Structure 1
Amino acid sequence: MGLLSRLLGIETRSGDVRLSDPFLAEHLGVGGRGANVTADAVLSNLAVAARCVALRSEMMASVGLYLFRRTDNGGRERADDNPLYGVLHDLANPNMTAFEAREFLVRSLDLTGNGYARIERNARAQVTALYPLPPLSVGVERLASGRLRYRVNTERGAPYVLLQEEMLHLRGCSRDGILGQSTIAVNRGSLGLAMTHQETASALSANSLRPSGLLSFVERLTGDQHAQVRQSMETRYSGTDKAGKLMIMDGGAKFERMSFSPEDAEFLSSRKLANEDVARVFGLPPTSVGITDKATYSNTEQEGRALVQNALGPLAGRIEAAMLRCLLTDVSRRSLYVEHDLDTLLRGDVKARFEAYRIGRETGALSPNDIRRRENDPPIPNGDIYHQPANWVPLGTKVATEALPVHEPAAAA
């Protein structure tokens, strides 16, 4: 950056950008307690964790994400004339749908604590495309002015630098305000315990799920004979591929199978608790990830609402705030904002939904067209009329009644 640029405070893309995260080793799972608890290790060993990450990303990508414009009368309308509306709702870029891009960003946010997408704008500074980037290929630097600059390392070609206005940055809970921490990094101890239980279960499965036994002989064996007998038994009868084979012993040998110990039963219970801890770490109800031991008809419906209110609601707010900061200019924020439509996830069955519509219609909160729009049906003529109950009219008010058209029966031929 030249002298004139430094005096004027003009930013440039040149210069080396260094990753300014002092907790890089912790994010990558290098060293310390729980060093083997990385994103790939957690997803490949813990089915509940893999389902939690998939459920959060898929559900957030499936709900509607719209760009709204505030109207003069205090209402709002969809700003479908803005290019950003199509980027968030239809196509993020020519190669990715909006669903795929949003799923990628939320998954990156859960696994690494950060989600990045390169912003493409037109001459009017409106967003025309979003190109998601692998989070581990992006480095962040805080400039002297307090603004951020991003260095993107590519598999092919030289790395390039993007300014703050050219990058959509979703971050999780952060220690330094620059990089976010993933759920896996924050809860490495709990996930490490669950992975230890998984490794123990895998070892038992590799031994054909057989408990240890006692092999006794009439005569006393030497040390070499002990080792030879143990190696022979493990070679012939240990492993899932050798389960069910006929065991033949001579020399007065007697095999006694050890009974299932209380410690083994406690281990099975601890595995169930570990699965519940994994779901709790990601903020998801147990029934939503397939843990149905304590599920009933009533609490399943309540946990479905808790999924939206406690897990997806805060996540949606984090994404909306980041998009408001990165995708909209200072002028456009005065009239435009981004919002998820989480009401589609809170709708009950058909009977409960239409009962709520009936109450809204009778109290004057909804019109017929309001209800039809919620059900994705086209509006009808004269369907924007709101009714008011007669007992809600102020005292002394004269209600005008309109004469209804009278249809006389057709004359007999």
Structure 2
Amino acid sequence: MLDWWRGRAAARERPSVERKASRTGGLIAFSVPGRPVWTPRDYAALAREGYARNPVVYRAVRMVAEASASVPWLLYAGDEERPGHPLLALLERPSPRQAGRDFLEAVYGHLLVAGNAYIEAVALDGQVRELHGLRPDRMKVVPGRDGWPEAYDYSVGGRTVRFSVDEAGLSPILQLALFHPLNDHYGFAPIEAALTSLDVHNAAGAWAKALLDNSARPSGALVYTGGEGGNLSDDQFERLKKELEEGFSGARNAGRPLLLEGGLDWRTMALSPRDMDFVEAKNLAAREIALAFGVPPMLLGIPGDNTYSNYQEANRAFWRQTVLPLVGRTAAALGAWLGPAFGPDLRLGFDADAIEALSAEREALWARVAAADFLTEDEKRAAVGYGPRRGSDGRDAP
């Protein structure tokens, strides 16, 4: 299964050399070799309580995933760009059921919600033909005796498929993981850093819904001060309780006046939304969730954020500080993983000039470089990320 990387046969013909490994590997192998190390959190709960129930998490994940998947790929052999390369065609159409953008949106979504994303490469006749994104909650890392992964187990419906990692570290599975300071095998999801704010935001929504169901009235108590001993009889208590439940609870009874008999007094037993500073607490939780995902709150319509002077500035910060770093690390990982299967010295990059949100920065850079009379034409082209005018084939570049 691993022989689809080119250059493997040549590697086998070379004389055997001592294989290098980290001296700390044995310390990392804290579990019995060959047994899966489960992810230390409940991915389903994170996805359900965050992405599926919280609009801020949902929109933040969608924004980052969609923006990252929209960035065009570039491929280089050394310093020379290779448009129309088979590797680019594979990324454009990774499988018959998915286009490249849909595939990447799913990969980025898994990475943001779980902290991990897994891609399977399918080979046919020694060539990589398809790429598939796998659900992270179904994947388990199997550590070897040196502490590093020796296999990946993918389990669905009681069946498990094992993808092995060979001695050179090559595998048909690519794991993308966000940095986790306390785990050697799994990444840290941004949503985990915002769990407290997520709970506050979800609880605020549930509390508001319950308040509306209760005719927008805070909780309280009817206190009986009349009669002997200040107590209602059993029949009076049951009748009053039934009247309150049937006649004054629920949205359909909103606004109905409460008629109190002699000796009954209504006393509020809960804070009002104003006393709780309800709106500001919910907005603060929303801003912290957006912060964890690297999305400026202004782009999510969250009030109270004055970090950026205008929407365009916030959008540029979103692309520069969140989207492009994520795309860059993904390009580096995919290029190092798939490159050997398509040829030597291949490097995968992305086309930042095609991003409309950064057009103002690009125009300003071009204007400054064009005005620099002390630079030659090729130096100006290099300063803006282009190669020399005359290529290695002797023809002028566009």
User: Is 1:87 paired with 2:101?
Assistant: no
In the alignment, what sits opposite 2:163?
162
Cα distance in 1 between the residues matched to 2:156 and 2:205: 36
Structure 2 contact 332–347 (Cα < 8 Å) conserved: no
1:274, distance to aligned residue in structure 2 (A): 0.7
User: Is 1:59 paired with 2:62?
Assistant: no
User: Is 1:319 paired with 2:333?
Assistant: no
Cα distance in 1 between the residues matched to 2:279 and 2:107: 36
Cα shift readout 1:131-174 (whole Å, capped 9, x = no counterpart):
1112222222122364431122234x843221332112111223
SS at 1:93 equivalent: coil
Cα distance in 1 between the residues matched to 2:68 and 2:263: 62
Which residue identity is paired with 2:348? Answer: V
Cα shift readout 1:106-143 (whole Å, capped 9, x = no counterpart):
11111112111210235555x33201112222222122
1:358, distance to aligned residue in structure 2 (A): 4.5
Find 2:112's aligned residue among 105, 110, 132. 110
Cα shift readout 1:292-348 (whole Å, capped 9, x = no counterpart):
444598332222122122222332233123213422339956x21122334415424
Cα shift readout 1:261-302 (whole Å, capped 9, x = no counterpart):
476352222111111111111121101222144459833222
Structure 1 contact 283–311 (Cα < 8 Å) conserved: yes
User: Is 1:77 paired with 2:51?
Assistant: no
Find 2:41's aligned residue among 27, 33, 37. 27
Distance 1:236 1:99, change over 3 A: same
The structure whose Rg is larger is 1
Would you say how many aligned residue pairs link Structure 1 and Structure 2? Answer: 339
Cα distance in 2 between the residues matched to 1:218 and 1:59: 64
SS at 2:184 equivalent: coil
Cα distance in 2 between the residues matched to 1:63 and 1:38: 27
In the alignment, what sits opposite 1:339?
349
Q: Percent identity?
A: 25
Which residue identity is paired with 1:152? Answer: Y
Which residue identity is paired with 2:254? Answer: A
Distance 1:266 1:104, change over 3 A: same
Structure 2 contact 108–117 (Cα < 8 Å) conserved: yes
What TM-score comes out, normalization by structure 2 length? 0.72
Cα distance in 2 between the residues matched to 1:128 and 1:385: 32
1:204, distance to aligned residue in structure 2 (A): 1.7
Cα shift readout 1:7-27 (whole Å, capped 9, x = no counterpart):
x9xxxxxxx964213xx3x41
Cα distance in 2 between the residues matched to 1:144 and 1:216: 70
Structure 1 contact 68–337 (Cα < 8 Å) conserved: yes
Cα distance in 2 between the residues matched to 1:262 and 1:311: 35
* CA RMSD after TM alignment: 3.8
SS at 1:322 equivalent: helix
Distance 1:150 1:248, change over 3 A: closer
Cα distance in 2 between the residues matched to 1:203 and 1:261: 13
The structure showing larger relative contact order (alpha-carbon pairs under 8 Å, at least 6 residues apart) is: 2
Which residue identity is paired with 1:166? Answer: P
Structure 1 contact 66–78 (Cα < 8 Å) conserved: yes
SS at 1:190 equivalent: helix
SS at 2:156 equivalent: coil
Cα distance in 1 between the residues matched to 2:397 and 2:72: 27
Structure 2, unmatched stretches of 5+, are: 1-15, 17-32, 166-170, 386-394
Summarize the alignment of residues 287-302 of structure 1 with structure 2, pairs less than 5 Å apart. Answer: 287-294=298-305, 298-302=309-313
Cα distance in 2 between the residues matched to 1:67 and 1:180: 27
Structure 2 contact 87–342 (Cα < 8 Å) conserved: no
Distance 1:46 1:329, change over 3 A: same
User: Is 1:194 paired with 2:198?
Assistant: no
SS at 2:188 equivalent: coil
SS at 1:161 equivalent: strand
1:250, distance to aligned residue in structure 2 (A): 6.5
Distance 1:241 1:69, change over 3 A: farther
Cα distance in 2 between the residues matched to 1:58 and 1:223: 64
Structure 1 contact 63–341 (Cα < 8 Å) conserved: yes
User: Is 1:277 paired with 2:288?
Assistant: yes
What TM-score comes out, normalization by structure 1 length? 0.69
Structure 1, unmatched stretches of 5+, are: 1-7, 9-15, 30-35, 375-382, 387-413
Summarize the alignment of residues 349-364 of structure 1 with structure 2, pairs less than 5 Å apart. Answer: 357-363=366-372
Structure 1 contact 120–130 (Cα < 8 Å) conserved: yes
In the alignment, what sits opposite 1:139?
140
Structure 1 contact 215–253 (Cα < 8 Å) conserved: no
Distance 1:365 1:51, change over 3 A: farther
Cα distance in 2 between the residues matched to 1:385 and 1:315: 30
User: Is 1:206 paired with 2:213?
Assistant: yes
Cα distance in 2 between the residues matched to 1:366 and 1:292: 47
Summarize the alignment of residues 93-104 of structure 1 with structure 2, pairs less than 5 Å apart. Answer: 93-104=95-106
Which residue identity is paired with 1:77? Answer: E
